[in-house]
């Protein structure tokens, strides 16, 4: 099947999941995650009207951006502070902000570049030590610390749920993110918290049921990645 057909099939399932949850399908964005897949697949979707793609490694994001400048890329993976420049130069958005030092560095570079960067704060809702993201209980303090960083255009939160066949454990991660969102709306109302990026190929319908406003889909659109991937 052509990638665009897979994309449309997933979009259809996203719409159906939204309707089942009593939600308007237009409330749920679909971010295709093109990491590890060749730039031709990005071009194919771009030609069909898809504008933004998720990447989790900055080197790959930069390479693709230089090859397809008309496409926009959201960085969804871990960023080291010394790579902040690449984010500012090549990324349209950052969905994985979880470090104050990175936030500060980005802010200053964004001011220099004269642009703002839409960001999501990544929260480690499964509390697995190997996962990225700030701890849920640190979210308010984190948000207060970056409140003054005007280069960052905070839009909401991102999480990766626990990888488990137990739907209740997965759903608990999504619910945890919503609790953090509610707390942030009360405690840090100066920033925007509407966006909830949660749900991947294996759990996006459940995430939509639990209030996701953006699902990040790789495998279900592009097929399997090499086994080396995280
Ligand atoms: C790779 C990746 C995805 C997509 O994963 P699939 O299971 O292939 O849909 C989503 N979010 C992040 C942060 C990723 O790194």
Predicted local confidence at residue 103, as pLDDT: 98
Predicted local confidence at residue 1, as pLDDT: 79
132 lines ligand 1 (CB under 6 A): no
Single pTM value for the model: 0.96
* DSSP one-letter string for 85-105: HHHHHH-SEEEEE--HHHHHH
Is 5 exposed, middle or buried, given 0-12, 13-18 or 19+ CB atoms closer than 10 A?
Answer: exposed
Tell how strand 29-32 and strand 52-55 pair up.
unpaired
Expressed in angstroms and rounded, the spacing between residue 143 Cα and the centre of ligand 1 is 25
Name the closest-CA residue to atom 13, ligand 1: 76
Which candidate, 167, 8, 151, places its Cα nearest to that of 87? 151
Predicted local confidence at residue 169, as pLDDT: 98
The token pair at 56 is 């989790």
Ligand 1 atom nearest residue 219's Cα? 8
Ligand 1 atom nearest residue 220's Cα? 9
- Which region holds residue 122: left if phi is over 0, alpha if psi is between -120 and 50, else beta? beta
DSSP, collapsed to helix, strand or coil, labels residue 69 as coil
DSSP, collapsed to helix, strand or coil, labels residue 49 as coil
Listed as ranges, residues in the chain with pLDDT below 70 are 227-230
The token pair at 195 is 């966006």
Predicted local confidence at residue 17, as pLDDT: 98
Name the closest-CA residue to atom 7, ligand 1: 201
Measured at the alpha carbon of residue 204, what is the angle toward residues 30 and 176, in degrees to the nearest 5?
110
Predicted local confidence at residue 225, as pLDDT: 84
Token pair 């994001």: residue: 61
Predicted local confidence at residue 226, as pLDDT: 74
Predicted local confidence at residue 11, as pLDDT: 98
Expressed in angstroms and rounded, the spacing between residue 106 Cα and the centre of ligand 1 is 24
């Amino acid at each position: 099947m052509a990638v665009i057909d897979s994309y449309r099939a997933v979009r259809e399932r996203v719409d159906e999941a939204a309707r089942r949850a009593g939600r308007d399908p237009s409330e749920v964005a679909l971010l295709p995650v093109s990491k590890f897949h060749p730039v031709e697949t990005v071009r194919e979707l771009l030609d069909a009207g898809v504008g933004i793609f998720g990447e989790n490694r900055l080197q790959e994001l930069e390479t693709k951006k230089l090859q397809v400048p008309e496409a926009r890329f959201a960085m969804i993976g871990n960023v080291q502070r010394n790579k902040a420049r690449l984010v500012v130069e090549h990324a349209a958005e950052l969905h994985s902000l979880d470090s104050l030092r990175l936030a500060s560095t980005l802010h200053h570079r964004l001011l220099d570049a004269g642009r703002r960067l839409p960001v999501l704060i990544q929260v480690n809702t499964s509390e697995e030590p190997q996962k990225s993201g700030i701890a849920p209980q640190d979210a308010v303090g984190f948000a207060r610390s970056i409140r003054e960083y005007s280069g960052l255009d905070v839009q909401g939160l991102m999480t990766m749920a626990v990888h488990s066949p137990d739907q209740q454990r997965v759903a608990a991660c999504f619910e945890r993110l919503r609790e953090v969102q509610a707390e942030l709306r009360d405690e840090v109302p100066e920033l925007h918290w509407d966006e909830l990026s949660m749900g991947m190929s294996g759990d996006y319908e459940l995430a939509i049921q639990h209030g996701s406003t953006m699902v990040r889909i790789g495998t279900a659109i592009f097929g399997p990645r090499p086994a080396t991937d995280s």
